[in-house]
């Protein structure tokens, strides 16, 4: 395979890479990696695994994780602070929510960088509504486009100041889903005009961020295929929303998408996704998907390099002062 980085983000089976995984990653040269709870044990082990991954591809690649806080956080105490759900955090902070959310994710960024992790799958710019599925609702930041955009910007800044590359999700908006895309394919029948004013608006306000993750949702106003596999939706993201960063799929092994993983990988790339995210697969499946996804073209490679360049040396952080300020903003209760 010739061209840029491999157009994948892959994961590991356990706490260290097996010889077969090292060989696959060396050949496939994935853009980066993602960690899960099964990859997490001790600080030294996590740093060693990150070193294994970077050594396998021969460069200082991005390693990401899902560390939203609340239900979705791979690092648990004592490796990471035990946060309340993001929506509860924002509601409790009230008018102080932008600063409180900034500090929350600045502290999360500090936790991640200390372990060798330099990307996080946040902010979540989906809008919570009355019918939003429970798997997503309290992971959201608010119920209006303006609130979600403001808090998502604060979350992104907390990451970037901490030397962690944020991944904006789930573009172009997951809030109207009444099904859990881990298990079923949600359909949204809302008009394009209304979606522009609501769901899509926070993503347009954040279209300068370096990376985004797709939503496995059918927007019937645009296409009958899931956004991840839809060229009309991907074109809309690039043109109307104006997002020109690196776009990765949500995990293609989720049940919302049907078919062989390598076929889904090809379809998502053909639709316009830069990077295919594959999680929780065996070695032959990872190998097949890496082959099917291929390499980044020149435009994708430029986006990939720009995303890596967003990883800055962290600004100094007085952790004790940040925690004290956050506690004051939250009225005392910060952690679960």
Active site residues: 182, 250
**DSSP per position, 255-267:** TTS-S-HHHHHHH
Model-level pTM greater than 0.95? yes
245 by DSSP, 3-state: which? Answer: coil
276 by DSSP, 3-state: which? Answer: strand
pLDDT digits (tens, 9 = 90+) for 173-188: 999 988 888 889 999 9
Per-residue pLDDT at 174: 95
User: What whole-number distance in Å separates Cα of residue 315 and Cα of residue 329?
Assistant: 22
Lookup: tokens for 65: 């994780």
pLDDT band at 315 (very low <50, low <70, confident <90, very high): confident
Per-residue pLDDT at 336: 82
pLDDT band at 333 (very low <50, low <70, confident <90, very high): confident
- Per-residue pLDDT at 1 exceeds 80: no
In CATH, the number for domain 6-329 is 3.20.20.300
Q: What is the mean pLDDT of residues 95-102?
A: 98
Lookup: tokens for 64: 């990401």
Phi-psi region of 319 (alpha: psi -120 to 50; beta: other; left: phi over 0): alpha
Residue-range domain boundaries for the chain: 6-329
Closest residue by Cα to residue 119 from 59, 160, 64: 64
pLDDT digits (tens, 9 = 90+) for 155-169: 999 999 999 999 999
Closest residue by Cα to residue 158 from 212, 209, 104: 104
């Amino acid at each position: 395979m010739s061209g840029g980085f491999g157009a994948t983000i892959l994961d590991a089976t356990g706490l260290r890479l097996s010889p077969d995984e090292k060989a696959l990653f060396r050949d496939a040269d994935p853009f980066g990696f993602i960690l899960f709870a099964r990859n997490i044990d001790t600080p030294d082990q996590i740093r060693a695994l990150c070193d294994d991954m970077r050594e396998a591809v021969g460069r200082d690649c991005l390693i990401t994780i899902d560390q939203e806080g609340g239900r979705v956080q791979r690092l648990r105490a004592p490796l990471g602070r035990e946060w309340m759900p993001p929506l509860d955090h924002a509601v409790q902070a009230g008018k102080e929510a932008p600063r409180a959310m900034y500090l929350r994710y600045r502290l999360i960024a500090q936790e991640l960088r200390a372990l060798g992790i330099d990307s996080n799958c946040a902010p979540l710019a989906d809008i919570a509504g009355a019918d939003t599925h429970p798997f997503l609702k309290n992971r959201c930041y608010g119920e209006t486009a303006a609130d979600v955009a403001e808090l998502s910007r604060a979350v992104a800044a907390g990451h970037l100041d901490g030397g962690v590359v944020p991944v904006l999700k789930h573009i172009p908006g997951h809030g109207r889903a009444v099904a859990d895309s881990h298990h079923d394919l949600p359909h949204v029948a809302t008009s394009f005009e209304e979606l522009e004013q609501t769901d899509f608006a926070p993503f347009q306000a954040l279209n300068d961020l370096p990376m985004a993750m797709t939503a496995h949702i059918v927007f019937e106003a645009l296409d009958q295929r899931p956004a991840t596999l839809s060229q009309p939706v991907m074109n809309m993201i690039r043109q109307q929303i104006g997002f020109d960063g690196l776009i990765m799929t949500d995990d293609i092994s989720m049940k919302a998408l049907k078919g062989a993983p390598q076929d889904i990988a090809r379809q998502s790339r053909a639709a316009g996704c830069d990077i295919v995210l594959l999680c929780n697969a065996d070695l032959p499946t990872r190998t097949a998907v890496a082959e099917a996804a291929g390499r980044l073209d020149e435009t994708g490679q430029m986006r990939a390099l720009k995303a890596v360049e967003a990883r800055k040396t962290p600004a100094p952080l007085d952790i004790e002062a940040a925690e004290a300020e956050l506690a004051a903003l939250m009225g005392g209760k910060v952690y679960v």
